[in-house]
Structure 1
Amino acid sequence: MTDFDIQALQTELRNKNPRVILRKALELFDNIAISFSGAEDVVLIDMAVKIRPDIRVFSLDTGRLHPETYRLIEKVRKHYGIAVEVLSPDRELLDELVKAKGLFSFYEDGHHECCGIRKVEPLKRKLAHLDAWITGQRKDQSLDTRQNIPEVQIDTAFSTPAHTLVKFNPLLNWTSAQVWDYIEAYQVPFNELHQRGYISIGCEPCTRPVLPNQHERAGRWWWEDAAKKECGLHASNVEGK
């Protein structure tokens, strides 16, 4: 698919309902998968299985997730009767990091090195074998890094000269309230931690509950500047920053 085609497709899908975007994505691509980690992603799975029951889903197991997150992965697998491919970090890279810097180096030198090994590297391996992927990104998740992302784009972070990867963001214009309205209306499985003050949930050492009226990303990497609160999975969001 060329850049011109992407521009035309983005024009077609701009401000469209998530189901319309999902249907188009699944119509255009057979070799496509949903990246699953949070509440938004389960909403997308719930929508997608009604279009393509055998939708491919993958999740990143960093080795540092909350027990509740592992339970959610299993709940989703059983609830929808789908296979969830669980991706693990490269053992040698992880062993080298832990041996050199210990288990909590991110508190001292930032989270990007750890996320690069535990999240980005396994994701890169997976995306190299896909033509397109679907994410649960929303604009209002980050005022600093997610305001300019489109409904569909060439994924410049993970495309290569030999392999163009397309990325769909169907929930781009939804609010958190719309996500939770859908979860309640359709009885979508969700992480138990959401009932304990957690909104944006990542690895256990890097996630904490938020206070009333705090932004949902305030509980992620709270010791760092707000503009740095991306783990690298959506690196193109912060291009030019």
Structure 2
Amino acid sequence: MSEIARFEAKGLKVFMTSSFQTQSMVLLHLISKINRDIPIFMLDTGFLFPETHLFAEEVARTLKLNLIKVKPNHTYKELMAGSKFLYAENSDLCCMRNKVEPLRETYKGYNVWLSGVRADQSNIRAGKKRIEENSDGIIRYHPLLNWDSKSIYLYRKQFELPEHPLEKDGFLSVGCMPCTSKYVDDFSTELRKGRWSGQNKQECGLHTHL
């Protein structure tokens, strides 16, 4: 995590994104020890579980984080006004409008994007580098890329960090309500199997399009 200090010493502006899941707690805790002024962007799509909102707000209060909720330009009512629900008709477009586009607008003026992407989360993330550059010239920094789920668990236990309230009900990867289901495949090694069930989709686009 010493890279953050080097980035800031060069005058680079750092921001972080977080979905405030159980596995997010490690990086959020580390940031609280390094620089609490770093903005933590949480993408409020309008479809998040109420438990996610409550959990994020409680974690931000406890760790004294600079939580900023980023919302899309359109309203929930506008998105649901068509003959079909967009998330069911075209989940890629739904993610683009509710996550990718709002974040792209929000991070203008920043230089370094900090995220908790890990190689063990999916085949796509396994191909990431610890430091890379996205299509907009933003430096991507993934400090936990080589951590595994056991390391995350042990760190959480050491510092008594809470888990997302839905995890005890079998939701190991929590996203938007319509596209999140319980993790039921005991033989899969991909921890994001509970997302976009029945679709050939692993990512919302933040770590692919950007």
Instruction: Judge same fold: TM > 0.5, yes or no.
Output: yes
Unaligned runs of 5+ in 1: 1-18
Question: Which residue identity lines up with residue 154 of structure 1 in the other structure?
Answer: E
1:36–1:42 Cα contact (<8 Å) kept? no
* Local SS of the residue matching 1:136: coil
* Local SS of the residue matching 1:58: strand
Matches within 5 A, 1:192-211: 192-211=165-184
CA 1:101/1:175 → structure 2, altered by over 3 Å: closer, same or farther?
farther
Question: Which residue identity lines up with residue 32 of structure 1 in the other structure?
Answer: V
Among 139, 142, 147, the residue aligned to 1:169? 142
Distance 1:131 1:68 in 2: 31
Shift of 1:128: 1.5
Matches within 5 A, 1:11-22: 19-22=1-4
CA 1:216/1:222 → structure 2, altered by over 3 Å: closer, same or farther?
same
Distance 1:235 1:57 in 2: 20
Question: Which residue identity lines up with residue 18 of structure 2 in the other structure?
Answer: F
RMSD: 2.1
Q: Tell me the residue number matched to 1:128.
A: 108
Shift of 1:24: 4.3
Matches within 5 A, 1:171-186: 171-186=144-159
Q: Indicate yes or no: 2:110 matched with 1:117.
A: no
Q: Tell me the residue number matched to 1:71.
A: 54
User: What do residues 162-190 of structure 1 show as CA deviations (whole Å, max 9, x unaligned)?
Assistant: xx311101111111121121111112233
2:42–2:67 Cα contact (<8 Å) kept? yes
Q: Tell me the residue number matched to 1:155.
A: 134
Question: Which residue identity lines up with residue 86 of structure 2 in the other structure?
Answer: S
Q: Tell me the residue number matched to 1:187.
A: 160
Matches within 5 A, 1:218-229: 218-225=193-200, 228-229=201-202
CA 1:191/1:29 → structure 2, altered by over 3 Å: closer, same or farther?
farther
Distance 1:116 1:95 in 2: 17
More helix by share: 1
CA 1:77/1:154 → structure 2, altered by over 3 Å: closer, same or farther?
same
> Structure 1-normalised TM-score?
0.78
